[in-house]
């Protein structure tokens, strides 16, 4: 019996398909709960730091102070990007920051001493290096394309502060640092999202971590994944003022257009990451004397509330864009910030895939023509 | 009810899971039949050319002579790689050719006029450009790392001959050209193999074709996917002479080691691509006065024959490595040759994914700790 004759049911989008087990993050979409290694995302967002969270994801437990100090030092030492990769960034500087990040991460494989070592120890070390190098790449590119010199990492700053420092050339306020730190924590891992899944697919052929992370970056670029925060902020800018929010959304819904920042494949309850950014976006807007963006987005959220009953709730991307915007970060960098936060999640999932590996290779049902006779070229019409 | 409480069955490796429909290729693993757009791979391997096959995959039908001439000219015009990308290749020349290819394809996005245009027309044009640029990158890198100048494409040669010409700096014989051409035809598409699937995952977020092809290259690098041909030739070299083949394999089987070039997730019958390469590898070995590799591999194949009853049959990678070796191609380029042949398959599957898109995002079953209380850092042990 050939594939053609069998009844075949399709798992389009792999909706509801459980690929494998994980010990890293648990997305409980029905009750809006997110867990990293057993810890509730709310506890981590409120009490942890990104360094701690990376450590937690990679090593499976929260560090002691000595372990954290050591780990922070390792992260700092690993953040440097070799000169030839900076030159490569320079030569592709005109393209989208995610294309530049993808090319630079790919090029790093030429300078990493352990690129093709697939042992868990080397993969972990490479995961730490790539986590540390990603913000350096993103910031160097943004400086270069604006005609500025890249800023060297500052070892006296934490990860989030150092990111803002390398981006802007001056040390950020404590409040801005905390905001960025929380944002990175919220983005660090999220089950089998498309980019982590793409990284797992690459790792499943026994391709190395650089391959997997490049696949992750490539997959994250799409507007249905990393690109959503940018689209939400574009919408807020288009709306322009609070009083126009309602009619804008009515208009969009009437046309059947998607309202960005709502709905999620897994969450049918509110995305638990959203609330942390909602409150912080409000405080930031007030602090900057620009409360209008939060008000516009709140009006949009209010208008969309009836859809929550159908499982279309606000997601993490809805608030993050306005925060980046108020922090003065260019819109086309929003996906790159997501990527910086997500590298640890990609690394830990690659480690999990490697530990109990099986080639990830689904099937496709062929629905094209069959048994077409080959006709020599001069007899074709 | 949370995910923890439900009975969840895992689809590890997505074995047997049908992702979606396709009109491009049909891998009928149970009867060892492979079809591109309705045409049997045997007809294409024996009567078609790689240019024709690319056209068939991308446009859904075989070209007339006028269409083929036009298409061949377009391919030739598209093969040039911009100078800055050649410089990038130079700066990462020491890394694995697949890493270089991944970085260079990624960098091409900075110079393609339609990188972020996701329309089917632009995606098709980019697919043709990437198909044409891939051999230029592979050959330029190999020349550069050997201290030689890259060879400009020669528009009077067909795709396969031009590849060998750019690699070696001299026009190949007709027999070598035909061999390379057939090899490319056999590698052009193959259902939802891991790299094409990785490309689909990227495309499913609405990321552009460069993202998808970079994900494809990244995924192909693994020894369980594109890396197998290299491993088979390593084995043949290790065996060294026909008389030692049997004991080598006995030894390997006794140790429970995998014999490379046998078995395939989808084929339980013989891979229909293998026979074309088997016959051609023999003829090539005889022609080159080096019949020994074919004899060694034949002895291995013979020893493995009992496993065919269990569905572990010879696959396409088993013979291709010896052909590349006899053509004087460095072993670490074998995966790149696979990539050159596969770009059209990645492009056509991305076009299919875009046409009826749905985000590809499976789930993971969380099996880690739950409800762990957050302990302040100084109280941890």
In the block, tokens 């609070």 appear at A242
pLDDT one-digit tens code per residue, A75-85: 999 999 999 99
Task: Identify the pLDDT of residue B6.
Answer: 62
Residue A342 pLDDT exceeds 60:
yes
Distance from CA of B116 to the nearest CA of A (A): 9
* A208 has catalytic annotation: no
Strand, coil or helix: what is A127? helix
- Under the banding of pLDDT at 50, 70 and 90, the label for residue A138 is very high
The model's pTM is 0.97
For A263, which DSSP code? -
Find, among A359, A297, A276, the residue nearest to A46 by Cα: A276
pLDDT one-digit tens code per residue, B48-86: 999 999 999 999 999 999 999 999 999 999 999 999 999
Instruction: Report the complex ipTM.
Output: 0.96
Number of Cβ pairs < 8 A linking chain A and chain B: 413
pLDDT one-digit tens code per residue, B322-381: 999 999 999 999 999 999 999 999 999 999 999 999 999 999 999 999 999 999 999 998
pLDDT one-digit tens code per residue, B267-321: 998 899 999 999 999 999 999 999 999 999 999 999 999 998 898 999 888 999 9
Average pLDDT, chain A: 95
Residue A1 pLDDT exceeds 70:
no
> Chain B within 8 Å of A227 (Cβ-Cβ)?
yes
Give how far the C-alpha of residue B358 lies from the chain's centroid of Cα atoms, to the nearest Å: 25
pLDDT one-digit tens code per residue, A275-286: 999 999 999 999
Judge whether A337 and A186 are in contact, CB under 8 Å: no
Cα(B31)–Cα(B18) distance, integer angstroms: 18
Identify all chain A residues contacting B100, using CB atoms and an 8 Å cutoff: 110
CB contact under 8 A, B11 and A18: yes
Q: Which residues contact A92 (CB under 8 A, 6 or more apart)?
A: A99, A100, A103, B84, B88, B107, B109, B110
- Picking from A91, A221, A365, the nearest residue to B18 by CB comes out as A365
Q: Which residues contact B145 (CB under 8 A, 6 or more apart)?
A: B93, B94
- Under the banding of pLDDT at 50, 70 and 90, the label for residue B1 is very low
Residue A175 pLDDT exceeds 70:
yes
Residue range B9-19: average pLDDT?
97
Domains in chain B (CATH in brackets) are: 24-224+330-355 (1.10.580.10), 228-326 (1.10.230.10)
Average pLDDT, chain B: 95
Find, among A62, A312, A371, the residue nearest to B39 by Cα: A371
Task: Identify the pLDDT of residue A381.
Answer: 84
Q: Is A243 exposed, middle or buried (0-12, 13-18, 19+ CB in 10 A)?
A: exposed
Indicate which of B63, B118, B219, B354 best probes the interface with A, i.e. most A CBs within 10 Å of its own CB. Answer: B219
Judge whether B308 and B270 are in contact, CB under 8 Å: yes
Judge whether B298 and B207 are in contact, CB under 8 Å: no
Task: Identify the pLDDT of residue A6.
Answer: 62
pLDDT one-digit tens code per residue, B224-236: 998 889 999 999 9
> Chain A within 8 Å of B249 (Cβ-Cβ)?
no
- Under the banding of pLDDT at 50, 70 and 90, the label for residue A177 is very high
> Chain A within 8 Å of B144 (Cβ-Cβ)?
no
- Please state, for a pLDDT cut of 90, what percent of chain A lies above it: 91
Residue A268 pLDDT exceeds 60:
yes
- Cα dihedral A168→A174→A179→A182 (10° resolution): 110
Which residues are paired to A84 by β-bridges?
A: none
Q: Which residues contact A59 (CB under 8 A, 6 or more apart)?
A: none
- Picking from B193, B226, B363, the nearest residue to A17 by CB comes out as B363
CB contact under 8 A, A219 and B225: no
- Picking from A3, A26, A362, the nearest residue to B19 by CB comes out as A362
Residue range A109-125: average pLDDT?
98
Q: What order do you get walking across the sheet with B33-36 strand by strand?
A: B25-28, B33-36, B39-40
Strand, coil or helix: what is A358? coil
């Amino acid at each position: 019996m050939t594939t053609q004759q069998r009844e075949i049911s399709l798992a389009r989008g792999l909706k509801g398909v459980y690929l494998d087990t994980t010990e890293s993050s648990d997305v409980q979409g029905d009750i809006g709960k997110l867990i990293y290694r057993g810890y509730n995302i709310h506890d981590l967002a409120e009490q942890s730091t990104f360094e701690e969270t990376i450590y937690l994801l990679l090593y499976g437990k929260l560090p002691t102070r000595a372990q954290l100090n050591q780990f922070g030092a390792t992260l700092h030492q690993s953040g440097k990007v070799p000169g030839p990769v900076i030159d490569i960034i320079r030569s592709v500087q005109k393209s989208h920051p995610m294309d530049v990040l993808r090319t630079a991460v790919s090029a790093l494989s030429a300078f990493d001493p352990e690129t093709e070592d697939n042992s868990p120890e080397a993969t972990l070390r490479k995961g730490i290096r790539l986590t540390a190098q990603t913000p350096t790449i993103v910031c160097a590119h943004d400086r270069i394309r604006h005609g500025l010199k890249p800023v060297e990492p500052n070892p006296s700053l934490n990860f989030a502060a150092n990111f803002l420092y390398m981006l802007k050339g001056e040390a950020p306020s404590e409040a801005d640092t905390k905001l960025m730190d929380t944002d990175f924590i919220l983005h660090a891992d999220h089950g089998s999202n498309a980019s982590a899944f793409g990284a797992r697919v690459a790792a499943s052929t026994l391709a190395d971590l650089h391959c997997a992370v490049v696949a992750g970056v490539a997959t994250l670029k799409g507007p249905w994944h990393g690109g959503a925060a940018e689209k939400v902020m574009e919408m807020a800018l288009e709306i322009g003022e609070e009083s126009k929010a309602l009619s804008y959304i009515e208009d969009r819904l009437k046309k059947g257009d998607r309202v960005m920042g709502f709905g999620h494949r897994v969450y049918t309850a509110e995305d638990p990451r959203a609330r942390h950014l909602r409150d912080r976006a409000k405080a930031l807007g007030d602090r900057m004397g620009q409360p209008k963006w939060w008000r516009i987005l709140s009006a949009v959220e209010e208008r969309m509330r009836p859809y929550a009953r159908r499982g279309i709730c606000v997601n993490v991307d809805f608030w993050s864009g306005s925060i980046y915007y108020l922090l003065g970060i260019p819109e086309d960098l929003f996906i790159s910030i997501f990527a910086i936060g997500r590298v640890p999640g990609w690394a830990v999932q690659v480690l999990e895939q490697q530990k109990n590996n099986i080639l990830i290779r689904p099937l496709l049902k062929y629905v094209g023509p069959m048994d077409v006779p080959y006709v020599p070229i001069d007899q074709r019409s």
